[in-house]
A and B are shown apart, each in its own frame.
Chain A
Amino acid sequence: DVKVTQSSRYLVKRTGEKVFLECVQDMDHENMFWYRQDPGLGLRLIYFSYDVKMKEKGDIPEGYSVSREKKERFSLILESASTNQTSMYLCASTRDYSNQPQHFGDGTRLSIL
């Protein structure tokens, strides 16, 4: 069975901290994505990666960076956490050039105090 695993379900951090959210997929997918989900705003794409060490900005990249050193792992980094980054963060993956669905992790509920 396909699996996207996010390292934490719940996380509480302080303003100004550097925060790492980790995501691992076991399906050898080329594409990986980070979204945030907020009430009334829906899912918004932060960054995506279409290959190892390759990345592209999504709709709301400000305040975030990403790292993809290995195909199976995609990390989201909050350089200096702020309270407006309190949100639900969702990781997903999918295969290139295929009609396969996008697979999501269970999400990380991040609170910045």
Chain B
Amino acid sequence: KQEVTQIPAALSVPEGENLVLNCSFTDSAIYNLQWFRQDPGKGLTSLLLIQSSQREQTSGRLNASLDKSSGRSTLYIAASQPGDSATYLCAVRGSSNTGKLIFGQGTTLQVKP
């Protein structure tokens, strides 16, 4: 059974720092891996999706990497800003159809001005 773990559960950094969020999964047979952002009391917003054949994806100050063989993904945030404060969740999709996702518990990030 696929399990997804995110470490740390919470992170507080000063504005301007570069930071890395970690995600690990137990079964390397994945279709893709997705990173989401969730603001308090809101739904999830998709940030990046990495296909199983890819190693990384970039969007602005965000870069996500994927190492299937070791069951790891990282989300790198460059030059963090207070507006980046949110909970970040990673999720793996195991099969090509249905689209079911297995989520990690999330990392809650606080960026202090």
Contact = CB atoms under 8 A, between A and B. Distances in A.
A73 B14 CA distance: 43
8 contacts: A4-B43, A31-B99, A94-B99, A96-B97, A99-B31, A104-B36, A104-B45, A109-B41
A106 B96 CA distance: 25
Interface string B51-88: 10000000000000000000000000000000000000
Contact of A90 (B43, B46, B98): B43
Interface in A75-101: 88, 90, 92, 94-97, 99-101
Contacts of A33: 99-100
Interface stretch (A11-19, A42-50, A61-69): A42-50
B32 interface: yes
A92 B101 CA distance: 11
A31 B99 CA distance: 7
Contacts of B106: 42
B104 A102 contact: no
A92 B51 CA distance: 19
Q: How large is the interface on B (under 10, 10 to 19, 20 to 34, 35 or more residues)?
A: 20 to 34
B49 interface: yes
Contact of A31 (B42, B46, B49, B98): B98
Given A102-B91, A105-B43, 4 more contacts: A31-B99, A99-B32, A104-B43, A109-B41
**Interface of chain A, main secondary structure:** strand
A101 B46 contact: yes
Between A96, A100, A102, the greatest number of chain B beta carbons within 10 A of the residue's beta carbon is seen for A102
B105 interface: yes
B10 interface: no
Contacts of A45: 100
Nearest to B101: A102
Nearest to A9: B41
B103 interface: yes
B44 interface: yes
Interface string A43-60: 101001010000010000
B43 A106 contact: yes
